[in-house]
Amino acid sequence: MNRHEEALGLFVVRRYRSRFRESLVSKRRDKLLAALPSFRYWDERFLYLIPSSEQLPERIYEILTARGAPKRCHAVSISDRLDGRDLLLQDALDQTVGWEMGTVLSCIPGRLAYFEGEPPNERYVLER
């Protein structure tokens, strides 16, 4: 597990945090990824819904970079072509927003990430 994946647990409610981290590095990773589109264990203190009028890759990129996101991110995703990869943030958003429900893009380990859920308009900034 890399530092981005380990730190994602900081955005998860305490009672599920260790299980989340263990699942990322075990045979249960596939099960965790399958549940990611409807993941409900994010700690609401760190979850900020992006207004529907701003849910475009370019605008989300602006929101994240204004909060300190670097040009590269790490993906945890139900998508095999994204999962476990380090990508340019803009490219990752272009591939994710509206297409890859069940994706987390970690920008700053444990401090800033983006989550794309399954329901329409379920796009969040995770920030501590």
pLDDT of 68-78, one tens digit each?
999 999 999 99
When pLDDT is cut at 50, 70 and 90, the band that residue 1 belongs to is: low
Q: At residue 36, does pLDDT exceed 90? A: yes
- 57-66 helix and 89-96 helix, angle to the nearest 10 degrees: 140
What mean pLDDT do residues 41-58 have? Answer: 96
Closest CA relative to residue 88, chosen from 104, 107, 66: 107
When pLDDT is cut at 50, 70 and 90, the band that residue 63 belongs to is: very high
